[in-house]
């Protein structure tokens, strides 16, 4: 039984300057550290789950707070995030256990570890700064990576595959329902027209289509922000 569950949503980062700030982003400074510890009601010797461990920033806080008798289980389905977290959290030894999986697999993972009761669960939902900072992953529209967007590389469909195979109705539904994109059908038609000339493969291919339909950014939020969010959610089945 969980006594406390804290769920946060990672902000859609204003990506101006993402490349310049990649080193800073990769350090993964955890957001609201004091609030997280307070809301979880951390007690020494307790067992806690970071179900979206990412680069391990929050998990490090939890490890420090639970003491030598405590336990922290970190879960993430991004193998690159787990690699970074494993390096970052090595100093905590047996106090931290890392497992690859979706937060939806938490019950199965805990059962496999022989853990029946936990004292709190933390979930920081959405795309992480670590993922945004790597242009090869295609999460950020401020790069020239492939249109991938898979949090788990074993997932069957990339963003490019969706864009190059879905019909106008399906694309419009993705843009409208997952991203609340303005003019979703016009954008869907533009994508289909563009792919008839050549497949969309790179981030810049999609940004070019978005800006042609919606105009270039004139304010704080670039018009591609919600489009990329919608595709990321579709690729990773985030509403399942």
What residue segments make up the domains of the chain, in order of their start?
33-122, 129-236
Virtual CA dihedral for 103, 231, 206, 132, nearest 10 degrees? -20
Q: Which of the pair, 189 or 2, is modelled with greater confidence? A: 189
* 112: Cα within 13 Å, side-chain hemisphere: 11
Backbone dihedral angles phi then psi of residue 97, each to the nearest 5 degrees: -125, 125
Are the C-beta atoms of 75 and 101 separated by less than 8 Å?
yes
Place domain 33-122 in its CATH homologous superfamily.
Answer: Vaccinia Virus protein VP39 (3.40.50.150)
CB 138 within 8 A of CB 148: yes
Q: pLDDT tens across 44-83, in order?
A: 999 999 999 999 999 999 999 999 999 999 999 999 999 9
pTM greater than 0.85 (yes/no): no
Q: Give the pLDDT score at 1.
A: 40
pLDDT 10s digits, 80-131:
999 999 999 999 999 999 999 999 999 999 999 999 999 999 998 877 778 8
- For 129-236, give the CATH class: mainly alpha
Nearest-10 Cα torsion for 68, 73, 79, 84: -30
Q: What Cα–Cα distance (Å) separates residue 130 from each residue in 14, 42, 180?
A: 14, 26, 25
In the block, tokens 């004292």 appear at: 119
């Amino acid at each position: 039984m969980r006594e406390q569950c804290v769920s946060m949503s990672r902000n859609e980062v204003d990506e101006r300057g993402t490349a310049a700030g990649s080193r800073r982003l990769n350090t993964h400074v955890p957001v609201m550290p004091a609030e997280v510890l307070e809301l979880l009601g951390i007690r020494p010797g307790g067992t806690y789950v970071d179900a979206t461990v990412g680069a391990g920033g929050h998990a490090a806080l939890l490890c420090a707070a639970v003491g030598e008798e405590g336990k922290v289980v970190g879960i993430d389905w991004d193998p690159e995030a787990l690699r970074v977290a494993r390096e970052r959290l090595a100093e905590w030894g047996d106090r931290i256990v890392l497992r690859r999986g979706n937060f939806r697999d938490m019950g199965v993972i805990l059962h496999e570890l022989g853990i029946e009761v936990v004292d709190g669960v933390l979930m920081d939902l959405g795309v992480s700064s670590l993922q945004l900072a790597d242009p090869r992953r295609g999460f950020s529209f401020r790069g020239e990576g492939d249109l991938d967007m898979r949090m788990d590389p074993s997932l069957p469909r990339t963003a490019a595959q969706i864009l190059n195979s879905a019909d106008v109705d399906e694309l419009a539904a993705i843009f409208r329902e997952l991203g609340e994109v303005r003019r979703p059908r016009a954008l869907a038609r533009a994508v289909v027209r563009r792919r008839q000339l050549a497949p969309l493969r790179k981030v810049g291919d999609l940004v070019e289509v978005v800006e042609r339909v919606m105009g270039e950014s004139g304010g704080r939020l670039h018009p591609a922000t919600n489009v990329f969010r919608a595709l990321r959610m579709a690729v990773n089945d985030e509403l399942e």
